[in-house]
A and B are shown apart, each in its own frame.
Chain A
């Protein structure tokens, strides 16, 4: 049975934006509501397809967990790893107050 197409509302977009950690501003909500509506309407064509019993493909190569010997080897120094940070102190990334 074909499922009906869900209508995307401004509240849905605000909710998804929260999950995506994006503070949408101005007319972005209206614009994204329309864009997502159009795209999901197009994607809805998949409903026509019966995928009962079909295995999902998340990866095309027959590769599974790849292991290597657990020997330490040279890696980035702390100051190199934090060199791109907006704020770093004593080799740590600095973030705004959490608690």
Chain B
């Protein structure tokens, strides 16, 4: 097997035994980027060797892909939007600072839906990313570039961000492991905001061991993010035990109704049997407000987005366009023209929807109502976690869909987030691990959810599942 197909843990072992050097690992990954990325388009920017290496002591010199919404000093960071063209952050995001301290090797910046608005990576101003398992299909989104880079051996691991499933759904579609940590577990300082009460940065990796390793590097309290939680970071690798005996796992009945593909359901059901044989105890549970989650999410998330994106006004960074003829006033005309030119269709839809639900006369009916429904959804999880240690669900109702299949129908795209958004609304951690393949050879994802700050429970369940199944060893042929 080529070095670029190995996990970070395997690579670190090789380096430790002097069977490979960090330079060889980087060269192997870069060779794959040059060979495959013309077709996959996981990256929007690839660094040269001088730009890739960080100065830190090389304890974890593993090549990583970084989503285009995480600030790296001096590296163009655009959220794959025209409105941020040319923006070079004057500071590092906290996760980048931590990675640099471990000698991380930065391969490049990965593609995403503009401002993380989407579930397919088709809404990027640089054009779509293709799924390494089937190049006519999407990699999922919005962290589709990060997931495709890992699945396509163009990075050993990657960082994504997850506001409604943007790490987990692309991980499921690309057959890799994606973790959304508890809200507050990882600093958001330097993550360009989409919806501040929902956003979290997290790892996309080839297996659960790497997920635990990478979370251990990036997690922790940060005084620069007042929403980060001052909770000690455990050694997550100690949670990697092949044992779920006596663990109580809930299966929410509302997640297995209409809309789920038969092959996805079959793979998830089979995974329940695997964990049962390992000693986990399953019971059916109810999350009664599930059917309202998407509606509440798209109100809350777009309201926050419309506010966060107000800063793109052609003044502090990025694009500026002045119309030839005066309409309102030179300043207002510049704002309006810049924002019309700079934002793509989905960004405009979400800004407009958010502005509408926050506007006078509609605030109580939409935004406030959304926040109240959010309370009910959170209470659903609180109730289940009183008797269960974890919840098991599919990550997405389908396998990867075709490029262009949903791009003309925003609502049907929103509905594809049905299983992932509740974790963001309630702040709990969730992981997606590969749990099989469809007859077309497309990966299926299994989602495990746990209580706030119980990432160790996620790792324990996911690791046990992984050790008793072959899926994480499959590699896309590229």
Contacts and interface: CB of A to CB of B under 8 A. Distances in A.
Contacts of B289: 49
Contact of B183 (A49, A60, A93): A60
Contacts of A21: 310, 313, 332, 335-336, 339
A22 B88 contact: no
Nearest to B327: A23
A20 B355 contact: yes
A43 B366 contact: yes
A81 B366 CA distance: 37
Which secondary structure dominates where chain A touches chain B? loop
B475 interface: no
A96 B371 CA distance: 38
B299 interface: yes
A29 to B, nearest CB: 11
A60 B348 CA distance: 27
Contacts of A40: 353, 356
B365 A3 contact: yes
A51 B16 CA distance: 58
Interface stretch (B129-137, B317-325, B393-401): B317-325
B375 A57 contact: yes
B375 A85 contact: no
A88 to B, nearest CB: 9
Interface string B333-345: 1111101100101
B348 A93 contact: no
B88 A84 contact: yes
A1 interface: no
Interface string A25-58: 1001001100110111011011001010011111
B353 A51 contact: no
Nearest to A59: B197
B330 interface: yes
A81 B90 contact: yes
B87 interface: yes
Given A3-B365, A84-B88, A39 B353 contact: yes
Interface stretch (B37-45, B237-245, B266-274, B290-298): B290-298
Interface in A1-15: 3, 12-13
Contact of B368 (A12, A56, A76): A56
Interface stretch (B17-25, B55-63, B99-107, B222-230): B222-230
A49 B288 CA distance: 11
Contact of B315 (A3, A60, A95): A95
A38 B340 contact: no
A78 to B, nearest CB: 11
A96 B348 CA distance: 24
A51 B356 contact: no
B411 interface: yes
Given A36-B349, A60-B427, A76 B373 contact: no
Nearest to B347: A22
Contacts of B318: 84, 86
A58 B373 CA distance: 11
Q: Among the interface residues B298, B336, B452, which one has the most CB atoms of the partner chain A within 10 A? A: B336
Interface string B365-406: 110111111111010000000000000000000000000000
Contact of A23 (B337, B352, B452): B337
Contacts of B203: none
Nearest to B314: A86
Given A19-B359, A28-B348, A56-B374, A98 B315 contact: no
A51 B373 CA distance: 7
Contacts of B35: none
A43 B348 contact: no
B339 A46 contact: no
A97 to B, nearest CB: 5
B327 A93 contact: no
Given A42-B295, A42-B411, A84-B318, A35 B355 contact: no
Given A46-B296, A51-B376, A84-B316, A59 B340 contact: no
Interface string A57-86: 111110100101000000010001111111
B90 A61 contact: no
Given A54-B376, A68-B223, A61 B369 contact: no
B411 A38 contact: yes
B127 interface: no
B378 A60 contact: yes
A30 B201 CA distance: 36
A46 B373 contact: yes
B339 A20 contact: yes
Interface in B51-97: 86-88, 90-91
B326 to A, nearest CB: 10
A22 B317 contact: no
14 contacts: A19-B359, A20-B352, A21-B339, A23-B333, A24-B348, A28-B345, A35-B410, A40-B353, A42-B294, A42-B295, A45-B292, A51-B369, A51-B372, A57-B378
Given A23-B337, A63-B184, 11 more contacts: A13-B352, A20-B306, A32-B349, A36-B352, A42-B294, A43-B298, A43-B299, A46-B370, A49-B376, A56-B372, A84-B88
In order of increasing CB-CB distance, the 7 nearest A-B pairs are A60-B427, A56-B371, A84-B317, A23-B336, A96-B330, A66-B226, A51-B372
